[in-house]
Structure 1
Amino acid sequence: MLPKRLLPLLLALLKFASGYLLASRAYELHRDEYLYLNYGRHLAWGYLEVPPLTALQSWLTMALGGHWFWVKLWPILWGSVTVYLVVRLAQRVGGNWFAGALAGIGYIVSAYARLNFLFQPNSFEVLAFTGAVYALVRHLQTSQPGYLYALGMMLGLGALNKYTTFFFVGALLAALLLTPQRRLLLAPHWWGAAALALLLWLPNMLWQLTHGVPFLHHMALLKESQLVHVSAADFWKDQLLMCFPAVWIWVPGLLALLLYQPFGKYRAVGFLYLAGLLILTVLDGKSYYALGYYPMLLAFGAVWLEQQLVRFRWAAVVRPLLLAAPVLVILPMLPFLFTLYPPAHMQRIGPQYQSLGILRWEDGQNHPLPQDYADMVGWQELADKTWQAYQNLPDSTRQFTLIKCDNYGQAGAINYYNRHRPLPAAHSFNGSYLFWFPPRPVQPFRHLMLIGEGNPSELTPHFRTFQKVGEITNPYARELGTTIYLGTDPSTALLDRVYQEHHAALAEWQGPE
């Protein structure tokens, strides 16, 4: 029998290794990853999309050279630590080796397989929520105040990572008020933990206040462009699908937390899930916003199943079947959880999965690759062609070049792949790039390179010469057809318009100056 502390480490190591080994290098980074990596060049206490914790990881990644391995280290590491906590939580509430293994495997084969591969704030969000629940459970077991401060620390770091942490905090307060654990809210150490969380988040809160609270504008844009398409029915359907391989673990976990007498002291954890998903339903939250609420259910569900099997005659046969079942269920879907196969192979096997909607993009049409896979190809081509166009400029005027992109993915990819080349930074009016747009120079720009937004009929009169110098041709890329236009000697009127549009776009986020 494995020592109790060894099982969580082994499953965490399995999670870590699988994140790297099941990834084809035929894919590049995802468009969102390029944006977050650019944070590392512009350290601040806040950004238009998320709080600053991701930026610190970006800075460290770029300091280490920015290689693919270091980019992926963070989500894979956070996912591995989450697995460790899930298994330890199962052990802490009475589970033995079977419960720990079942909970850990349930996590590894669920939606977290993809989540913990992309360099985004979501992986740390799940870790922060899981760590907060672990600390809460340990406090309920031991009454040690240190666990309350650990809870406060996880919530504070969570708020520095993603603003959805405040939904979790609201759900936690509601859960405690609905159970006898409401007495915690009167404990001095609870308020100390709350003060610690607030202190950790304070720099970002001040940044929000001094920048016109752009979080509110961000939420309004999400509501108009994305969340408006989210229905309550689809949200709850996705809750079953995201963790479907482990549905017979987390559903019993939820029911046991609400109804199983031995778990009575942890009932607030069950209400935390219900309150959290109710808040997300009311606010039209995206389905994956709820992923941080499932690891705790996996731990309790695995323990409940283990305890029920003690009285079952065929337990010795059922245990290995239950451990194997989540893995067997997910095997057919493995190519869509991990970037396992290159695009050409994915196109060949895609028709087998078309009925599941996996190949349907936001435009409602089916494509050769899933949309997020198509968001991982074509970027190196764009960056190299941008560099080549820059190299073809005259030496005497090359330095007076403005590179302006239609979206943050284009700008981020150009900056990432050209990070070791003497290329001016690419800019955009999209997202946090609004803050990084260069001030108008004393020496006027001689060249304007437009990525994905060149309009010859409108722009040609504003340049001495204006021509297309490149285009993304990768047939699998979502950015297929994105053009690179180069204009020489832009007119003063055009540059005036560029900076007026920048000023207006920035004012939408933080108000007029």
Structure 2
Amino acid sequence: MDIRPPLAWRPVAAVSGALVALLLLTSGGYGHHRDELYFRALSEHPAWGYVDQPPLTPLLAGLSRAVFGDTLTGLRVLPALAAGLLVVLVALVARELGGRGAAQTLAAFGTAGGVYTLIGGHTLLTVSFDLPFWLAAILFTVRALLREQPRWWLAVGAVAGLATYNKLLIALLFAALAAGLLAVGPRRVLASPWLWAGALVAAVLAAPNLLYQVTNDWPQLAMAEALSADEGDEMRVLFVPMQVLLYGPVVAVIGAFGWWRLWRDRRLRAAAVAYPVAAVATLVSGGRFDYTGGLILLLFAAGCVAAEAAGADRPRSAGIALGCNAVGGVLLALPLVPLTVLGSTPIPAINEVARESVGWPQFTAAVRGVLDTLPPEERARAIVLTGSYGEHGELVRAGVPRVYSGHNQLHAYGPPPETGTVAVTVNIGRRGMDLQYATCEERARIDNGVGIDNELQGMTVHLCRGLKQPWSTAWPRYRHLS
């Protein structure tokens, strides 16, 4: 017999639908984020995997272009739908934990108004799809633990296996849960044949993705090491404050009560332990502060159940506080502030996605302008060399020919042709230019026009001539992971 409370499908569906509508209405604001431009470029090279990620997000970028059109809004339809699904999944987790209508509605509303949810729903990022995978896995795990229905471990395994095609990070969730089960139990779960059958399902589904990693010398481990070396110290400094700001301080406070609720239930105590285990692992490894984002939503869902159980006034007060949280989240995450004044607000400093979505038209115009100054014979064989996948992706999207980059997976799509004796370079650095060309002179400087200090602002465009050595010889030196 199903002893769960009824699903509050009307308010949950209303929150989910309103979120999707808001995200689609604002999807054309500002411009592409550099990661979106990268995924769009990778979608033109379908593969089982890439040096920096599994294949799913680039595959979905290609699907979006084919189904919804090769536009900014078209690229953002699937992230918006994924955010709507995430809202429903968090509400379902609250229901599994015993939450009735008020708790489910609070869980849906708070999730929808969280900054991280809104950013992932607005922009095509790996996190856009990773969060729903995590919450589906958490939902089925809670069902298996709380209701003692071990067949749900098969569903957990299926979600885990499929999630590896988006990010291998799902392994952190299960490592943290396993640590919790070993530390505080119930340890009998680890002896369940259903759990091991679920692990087998995950392994079978993930096998092609893992085979790619094995046969390519584990490129994503090399990528993880590069990211830790490049950003690890910064991520450690930001970790604690971002746990509070990721979905907003109100969600964090409610989540703290949720942690206590999980800890008090012996059947779910392992889930409470999973969060600090994942947090410590992230800090030690220098991983990104958002790696715990899925577990924070579990704590938040439990906190909404605790608020409902505390009395009629608590859900009302929590709802008002979450409403304020949502207003701040929407202003920070979505392109509602006009570009003309965006630079005078704190939003670009807080929201990297908004900051790095500005200036692409000016960038493309500057590169085209330098190319247009070349005599026809030189222009026909000139190459464009970029230091980052964002610049590469934008120029490819704009139809600029013969664009190359050594950044991450893009290095595999080189080297440039040996006829590329003339190059327009951006974001390469003096050493990279002098390594390959006899002369390089600055021809343009990027100004995004709105005074926002991002990676494009102030970037120089150089024209280089006099190839020193064949590209086939020099190209390995241009490979870099970051």
1:300-345 superposed Cα distances (whole Å, 9 cap, x missing partner): 1111211221xxxxx2x55333212111245356432222112222
Give the residue type in structure 1 aligned to 2:323: V
Q: Which residue, 286, 297, 300 being the options, matches 2:299?
A: 297
TM-score w.r.t. structure 2 length? 0.88
- Mapped pair 1:378 → 2:359: yes
CA gap 1:448/1:159 in 2 versus in 1, 3 angstroms: same
Question: 1:411 Cα shift?
Answer: 0.6
How do 1:457-468 and structure 2 match up within 5 A? 462=437, 468=442
Deviates more, 1:248-257 or 1:263-272: 263-272
3-state SS of paired residue (2:420): coil
Question: 1:236 Cα shift?
Answer: 2.3
Give the residue type in structure 2 aligned to 1:21: L
3-state SS of paired residue (1:304): helix
| Number of equivalent positions | 470
Q: Which residue, 189, 194, 214 being the options, matches 1:189?
A: 194
Partners in 2 of 1:224 and 1:266 — Cα distance? Answer: 36
- Mapped pair 1:471 → 2:467: no
Partners in 1 of 2:272 and 2:218 — Cα distance? Answer: 33
- Mapped pair 1:160 → 2:165: yes
3-state SS of paired residue (2:268): helix
- Mapped pair 1:16 → 2:20: yes
- Mapped pair 1:225 → 2:200: no
Q: Which residue of 2 aligns with 1:413?
A: 394
Q: Which residue of 1 aligns with 2:263?
A: 258
- Mapped pair 1:107 → 2:111: yes
- Mapped pair 1:500 → 2:463: no
Give the residue type in structure 1 aligned to 2:452: Y
Q: Which residue of 1 aligns with 2:463?
A: 486
Question: 1:483 Cα shift?
Answer: 2.8
Question: 1:417 Cα shift?
Answer: 2.7
TM-score w.r.t. structure 1 length? 0.83
- Mapped pair 1:323 → 2:319: yes
- Mapped pair 1:448 → 2:423: yes
CA gap 1:270/1:133 in 2 versus in 1, 3 angstroms: same
3-state SS of paired residue (1:290): helix
Question: 1:293 Cα shift?
Answer: 0.8
CA gap 1:440/1:461 in 2 versus in 1, 3 angstroms: closer
Partners in 1 of 2:357 and 2:157 — Cα distance? Answer: 36
1:457-484 superposed Cα distances (whole Å, 9 cap, x missing partner): 9769956x96555432223362122233
Partners in 1 of 2:431 and 2:83 — Cα distance? Answer: 47
Q: Which residue of 1 aligns with 2:42?
A: 39
CA gap 1:347/1:461 in 2 versus in 1, 3 angstroms: closer
Question: 1:453 Cα shift?
Answer: 3.5
Partners in 2 of 1:398 and 1:439 — Cα distance? Answer: 15
Q: Which residue, 151, 169, 176 being the options, matches 1:171?
A: 176
Q: Which residue of 1 aligns with 2:274?
A: 272
Are 1:174 and 1:272, in contact at CA under 8 Å, matched by a contact in 2? yes
3-state SS of paired residue (1:485): strand
1:255-313 superposed Cα distances (whole Å, 9 cap, x missing partner): 00002xxx44222222222322222233232221111111111221111211221xxxx
Q: Which residue of 2 aligns with 1:53?
A: 56
- Taking only the aligned residue pairs, the percentage that are identical comes to 23
Q: Which residue, 43, 51, 65 being the options, matches 1:62?
A: 65
CA gap 1:108/1:392 in 2 versus in 1, 3 angstroms: same
Q: Which residue of 2 aligns with 1:364?
A: none
How do 1:307-346 and structure 2 match up within 5 A? 307-309=309-311, 315=312, 317-332=313-328, 334-346=330-342
Are 2:348 and 2:355, in contact at CA under 8 Å, matched by a contact in 1? no
Q: Which residue of 2 aligns with 1:424?
A: 401
CA gap 1:200/1:395 in 2 versus in 1, 3 angstroms: farther
Partners in 1 of 2:218 and 2:47 — Cα distance? Answer: 15
How do 1:390-405 and structure 2 match up within 5 A? 390=371, 393=374, 398-405=379-386
Partners in 2 of 1:22 and 1:79 — Cα distance? Answer: 14
Deviates more, 1:275-284 or 1:121-130: 275-284
How do 1:79-90 and structure 2 match up within 5 A? 79-90=83-94
Deviates more, 1:478-487 or 1:49-58: 478-487
